[in-house]
């Protein structure tokens, strides 16, 4: 195309927007147009949504003789102008500018006066707009295979020391599930732990909309009315301590009248329950979960406010995409079973499992081989943490 | 050396600039560096109004962090900005009037990119305004047939933003 470029001015836009448009022009439409000031302009690009866009356009060109591209979220009522819908697509804008040039040169615009976003380029043969070459676009191209201990990496960047990880997730080696004794070793009985009374207490606090107390001798735990929050002096150490000791009996939950407790911390119920479940399980499964049964996470746990254990995010990612058994997860991710059992116990305590499969388009087969890149990003994130 | 990028988007005030600054190895900038990166083979430097940060990787590669530019949610050039991106970090501000409207808008505006890559949602401002709660966002997202990470995030907290990015990467590939 040996056409002369068209001089364009922007109307009704702030500095930031103009800079972005100018960047686009330089990068993708350099041969087509230049940005100039309003007086020198042969055409305008008007932000039709901005309050002063329409006004300024009217003042600058009251007779509306100069060709314009209107940019707006809704198609403008005024017809006869080139229109590009928001959010602006680069290709739409480029087509509209090409049409401005054709209008200036007294040719018929080829892209019609309203450019629907879905509309593809018309009959005219046209090269696709150049694409940034500096960014690797295909993560599938990244080399596969990795040869460093992922376990080492998984423990880095957590707010748990190595000892605490062992304390939290246990030391249990992977078991042969067909061996009866080994199979038994992976379970704990959740009825004798703090998990069940907290769950029951939260249900009660929600149903009755009243505070509920769990009688734990030295530590008072108040489940606040509504069942969303827990008031107690429960730091991690206390929780670990309580969970490590087998409870002598089933704990009672009692409705109480507020206010009964001196100032102490209020925690999210979810955070406490997750924590208690982790430290109770210590890398085992509650006997209500079967290691061979496929289940799926209905929702991602709120990991920014929950204790993250080794591989927890990978486990959640796999488990939200597809129904799999705890053993299958460990196998698919090539990680120790105890880490899967830990997350399973905590997620189960929060009621996050379903046995229905997902209808999401994301599936196992489409996971891209980008492990090297991702591990490298994770190391950077964690080293700097 | 390869370069990769992640896109941060969301309404004004949701914490894009702050989140990028939390992660970036260099003081984040909104202008020249980004322009010179994206226009590597150009002589003249352009000034572009977008947030930009960089995370250096031990492999020698770099992860570029881009924030969508603009003053308001009807913005432009998102298709160009997202090209080649690994995935989308959507920040929503719980303090805004209609955060579910924002959610809907961004899921629609980036639907193609989300389909091809992945997305994680971070809800900011929950320390100031706890309602609607995270579960309500999850329910909204599920209406779109998505089961994606939805996390409570404070953009000023590096570990929150970092967890958000990890969740994105793992949902792209957990193995
Ligand atoms: N209280 C609170 N402030 C936040 C949170 N996240 C970000 N901010 C603040 O919100 C303001 C707007 O953030 P900014 O990064 O400029 O938003 P942007 O417009 O998306 O780039 C800044 O002052 C941040 O420090 C949050 O979770 N809670
Ligand atoms: Mg900003």
CB contact under 8 A, B84 and A136: yes
Residue B18 region, left (φ>0) first, then alpha (ψ -120 to 50), else beta?
A: alpha
Pick A19's closest partner by Cβ from B39, B40, B49.
B49
Query: CB of A360 within 8 A of CB of A321?
Result: yes
CB contact under 8 A, B76 and A86: yes
Instruction: Verify whether ligand 1 is closer than 6 Å to residue B17 (CB atom).
Output: yes
Q: Quick one: which of A333, A335, A337 has its CA closest to A367?
A: A333
- Dump pLDDT digits (tens) for B78-131: 777 788 899 999 999 999 999 999 999 999 989 989 999 999 999 999 999 999
Residue A304 per-residue DSSP state: G
| Residue whose entry in the numeric block shows the structure tokens 């929060």 | A350
Instruction: Verify whether ligand 1 is closer than 6 Å to residue B16 (CB atom).
Output: yes
Low-confidence ranges of chain A (pLDDT < 50): 1, 112-150, 361-366
**Structure ipTM over 0.85, yes or no:** yes
Residues in chain B within 8 Å Cβ distance of A320: 147-148, 171
pLDDT score recorded for residue B76: 62
Which structure tokens are listed for B148? 């994606």
What's the structural domain count of chain B?
1
Q: Is the Cβ of B14 closer than 8 Å to some Cβ of chain A?
A: no
Mutate to test the interface with B, among A93, A132, A227, A384 (most CBs of B within 10 A): A132
- Dump pLDDT digits (tens) for A355-364: 877 655 444 4
The vertex-B80 CA angle with A55 and B74, nearest 5°, equals 35
Residues in chain B within 8 Å Cβ distance of A87: 74-76, 78, 109
Query: CB of A332 within 8 A of CB of B175?
Result: yes
Pick B171's closest partner by Cβ from A305, A317, A379.
A317
CATH superfamily of A6-117: Response regulator (3.40.50.2300)
Name the closest ligand to CA B155.
Answer: 1
In degrees and rounded to multiples of 5, residue A102 shows phi and psi of -65, -40
CB contact under 8 A, B172 and A358: no
Q: Quick one: which of A55, A42, A67, A52 has its CA closest to A17?
A: A52
Query: CB of A36 within 8 A of CB of A2?
Result: no
Closest chain A C-alpha to B148 CA, distance in angstroms: 7
Q: Which domain holds residue B144?
A: 3-172
At B127, which CATH number?
3.40.50.300
C-alpha A169/C-alpha A341 separation (Å) is: 8
Asked which of A111-120, B17-26, B66-75, B124-133 is least confident by mean pLDDT, the reply is A111-120
Going from the Cα of B71 to the center of ligand 2, the distance in angstroms, rounded, reads 8
C-alpha B57/C-alpha A381 separation (Å) is: 9
Distances, alpha carbon A282 to alpha carbons A4, A180, A186, A286, B143, in Å: 73, 20, 10, 10, 36
pLDDT: which is higher, A110 or B38? A110
Write down the pTM of the prediction.
Answer: 0.73
pLDDT score recorded for residue B75: 55
Where do the structural domains in chain A lie, given as residue ranges? 6-117, 162-175+284-384, 190-274
């Amino acid at each position: 195309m040996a056409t002369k470029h068209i001089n364009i001015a922007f109307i009704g836009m702030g500095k930031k927007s103009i800079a972005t448009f100018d960047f686009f022009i330089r990068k993708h439409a350099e041969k087509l147009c230049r940005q100039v000031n309003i007086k020198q302009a042969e055409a305008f690009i008007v932000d039709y949504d901005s309050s002063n866009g329409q006004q300024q356009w009217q003042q600058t060109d009251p007779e509306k003789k100069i060709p314009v591209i209107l940019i707006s979220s809704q198609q403008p009522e005024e017809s006869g102008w080139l229109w590009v819908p928001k959010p602006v697509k680069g290709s739409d804008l480029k087509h509209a500018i090409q049409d401005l040039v054709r209008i200036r040169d007294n040719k018929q615009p080829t892209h019609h006066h309203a450019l629907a976003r879905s509309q593809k380029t018309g009959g005219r043969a046209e090269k696709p707009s150049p694409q940034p070459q500096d960014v690797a676009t295909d993560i599938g191209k990244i080399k596969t295979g990795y040869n460093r201990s992922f376990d080492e990496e998984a423990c880095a960047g957590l707010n748990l020391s190595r000892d605490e990880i062992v304390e939290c997730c246990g030391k249990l080696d992977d078991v042969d599930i067909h061996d009866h004794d080994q199979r038994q070793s992976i379970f704990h009985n959740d009825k004798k732990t703090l998990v069940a009374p907290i769950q029951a207490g939260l249900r009660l606090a929600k149903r009755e909309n009243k505070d509920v107390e769990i009688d734990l001798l030295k530590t008072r735990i108040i489940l606040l009315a509504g069942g969303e929050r827990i008031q107690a002096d429960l730091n991690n150490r206390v929780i670990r301590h309580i969970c490590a000791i087998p409870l002598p009996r089933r704990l009672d939950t009692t409705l109480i009248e507020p206010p009964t407790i001196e100032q102490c911390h209020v925690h999210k119920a979810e955070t406490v329950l997750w924590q208690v479940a982790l430290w109770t399980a210590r890398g085992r499964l509650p006997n209500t979960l079967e290691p061979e049964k496929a289940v799926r996470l209905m929702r991602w746990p709120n990991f920014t406010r929950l204790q993250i254990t080794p591989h927890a995010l990978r486990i959640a990612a796999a488990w939200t995409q597809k129904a799999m058994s705890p053993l299958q997860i460990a196998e698919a991710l090539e990680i120790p079973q105890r880490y899967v059992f830990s997350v399973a116990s905590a997620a189960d305590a929060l009621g996050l499992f379903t046995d229905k499969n997902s209808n999401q388009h994301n599936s196992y087969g489409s996971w891209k081989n980008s492990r090297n890149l991702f591990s490298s990003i994770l190391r950077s994130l964690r080293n700097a943490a | 050396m390869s370069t990769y990028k992640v896109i941060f988007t969301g309404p004004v005030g949701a914490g894009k600039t702050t989140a990028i600054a939390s992660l970036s190895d260099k003081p984040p900038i909104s202008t020249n560096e980004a322009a010179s990166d994206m226009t590597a083979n150009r002589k003249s430097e352009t000034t572009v109004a977008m947030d930009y940060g960089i995370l250096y990787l031990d492999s020698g590669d770099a992860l570029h962090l881009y924030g969508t530019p603009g003053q308001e949610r009807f913005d432009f050039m998102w298709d160009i900005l997202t090209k080649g991106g690994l995935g989308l970090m959507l920040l929503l501000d719980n303090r805004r009037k209609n955060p579910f409207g924002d959610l809907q808008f961004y899921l629609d505006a980036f639907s193609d990119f989300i389909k091809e890559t992945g997305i994680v949602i971070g809800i900011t401002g929950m320390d100031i305004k706890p309602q609607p709660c995270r579960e309500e966002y999850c329910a909204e997202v599920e209406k779109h047939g998505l089961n994606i990470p939805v996390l409570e995030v404070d953009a000023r907290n590096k570990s929150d933003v970092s967890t958000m990015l990890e969740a994105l990467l793992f949902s792209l590939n957990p193995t």
